[in-house]
Amino acid sequence: MVIARELAEAVRESGHDAEIVVTPDYGFGRQSRAYWDTWRTNVSQLGGLRVDRVVSLRYPSYAVRHPQHVCWLNHTMREYYDLWPRWQGELSARGRIKERVRRTLIHAADRYLLTRNVTRLFVQSRTIQARLAMWPSLRSTVLYPPAPRRGYRTEAYGPEFLFVSRLTPLKRCGLVVDALAQPDGAGLRLVVAGEGEESASLKRHAAELGLADRVTFVGRLTDEQLLDHLARCRAVVFPPLQEDYGFVTVEAFASRKAVITCRDSGGPAELVHDGVSGLVCEPTAPAMASAMRTLSEDAALAERLGAAAFEAGAALTWPGTVRALVLE
């Protein structure tokens, strides 16, 4: 929703009208209804005014019908794409058969909609683009989203590293906690911002490792609290598994902070240039600890990488995004 709000505001600033339409999403087991109801959603007019162009973002919004339909794809339903091997292994034998059928139908629907129902297709990272490589006829252009406009600032390169995300297995906060228990992680401090299903287990894990005094869980932050932490941290640590994009990367860049991520982190690893705007390491606790130690011991390096990160992030602009999606 952040991307939708930012894009709509940027379109208005360019002198055009823009409204956000939320399409149905009924969750697992009711995907077919979500696609069907989205297909039937009328976007030809809003408030009595003719709609000249539609920009859809995520499934199943690209099922809406319009003669000028641009899709800026955030993600398809990942459980039926890159997460399928991992996800289907957790299902019962009966459930696996049912979901295989559903996966086949969703793939067919997505292929039709993204090739026949969409006028032009943009994707928000090369990681998303690679998931669609099974369909060679599907042509897409990578267009990275800029950071939300939130008044980012830089106050210091303090001693603490910052992790910001939902606390779920795919975000791999546990990898960062484990890094602090490594020899290279001795004395390092981490602030974890976010809520999610792993919150309680991560707190227990940190305590079991004897890290309760070096890992601070601050829960979900307001926008202003996030800006404060970004302004003062040494760097941002964000090592998700095959992330679609990850706004926290460009938010760190806008705050002149380097990002430590992993080679298999997807979108963040596309944006972070190793040794230039951050550090890209292997997805292991020792490698993560080594990267964090490097920036911990050299504040000047953290500041230098942060300055390069800011320049990289500044190249992504909302006016440029509007020109690509709406005006061209």
Percent of the chain whose predicted confidence (pLDDT) is above 90 = 73
Alpha helices by DSSP H, 40-192: 84-88, 93-112, 126-131, 173-180
**Dist CA 5 CA 148 (whole Å):** 9
Task: Read off the pLDDT of each residue in 18-38 and give the average, rounded to a whole number.
Answer: 84
Token pair belonging to 198:
């792993």
DSSP 243: B
Task: Read off the pLDDT of each residue in 98-125 and give the average, rounded to a whole number.
Answer: 91
Assign 3-state DSSP to the chain and report helix, strand, coil percentages, each to 5.
Answer: 45, 15, 40
Which residue type does 61 have?
A: S
| Residue bearing tokens 């991992």 | 86
Tell whether the model's pLDDT for residue 294 goes beyond 80: yes
| pLDDT class of 280 with cuts at 50, 70, 90 | very high
CB proximity list for 136: less than 8 A, separation 6 or greater: none
Would you state the pLDDT for residue 127?
94
Residue 100 exposed, middle or buried by CB count within 10 Å (0-12, 13-18, 19+): middle
Residue 65 exposed, middle or buried by CB count within 10 Å (0-12, 13-18, 19+): middle
Maximum separation of any 2 CA atoms in the chain, in Å: 65
Domain span(s) for CATH 3.40.50.2000 in the chain: 160-314
Task: Give SS3 for 74.
Answer: coil
**Dist CA 66 CA 138 (whole Å):** 19
Would you state the pLDDT for residue 79?
85
Task: Read off the pLDDT of each residue in 222-243 and give the average, rounded to a whole number.
Answer: 96
Would you state the pLDDT for residue 43?
87
Would you state the pLDDT for residue 242?
93
Would you state the pLDDT for residue 163?
98
Question: Left, alpha or beta for 15 (phi > 0: left; psi -120 to 50: alpha)?
Answer: left
Question: Left, alpha or beta for 97 (phi > 0: left; psi -120 to 50: alpha)?
Answer: alpha
Alpha helices by DSSP H, the chain: 2-13, 31-39, 84-88, 93-112, 126-131, 173-180, 199-208, 223-232, 247-254, 267-271, 285-296, 299-314, 318-322
Contact of 11 with 318, CB cutoff 8 Å: no
Domain 160-314: assigned CATH number: 3.40.50.2000
Tell whether the model's pLDDT for residue 199 goes beyond 80: yes
Tell whether the model's pLDDT for residue 183 goes beyond 90: yes
Q: What average pLDDT does the structure give for the chain?
A: 92
Token pair belonging to 75:
């993600």
| pLDDT class of 271 with cuts at 50, 70, 90 | very high
Would you state the pLDDT for residue 85?
83
User: pTM for the whole thing?
Assistant: 0.90
Percent of the chain whose predicted confidence (pLDDT) is above 70 = 100
Task: Read off the pLDDT of each residue in 31-50 and give the average, rounded to a whole number.
Answer: 86
Instruction: Give which of 302, 19, 12, 252 is closest to 147, Cα–Cα.
Output: 252
Query: Is cis: bond before 60, omega within 30 of 0?
Result: yes
**Dist CA 273 CA 246 (whole Å):** 15
Lowest mean pLDDT segment, chosen from 101-110, 235-244, 311-320: 101-110
Would you state the pLDDT for residue 89?
74
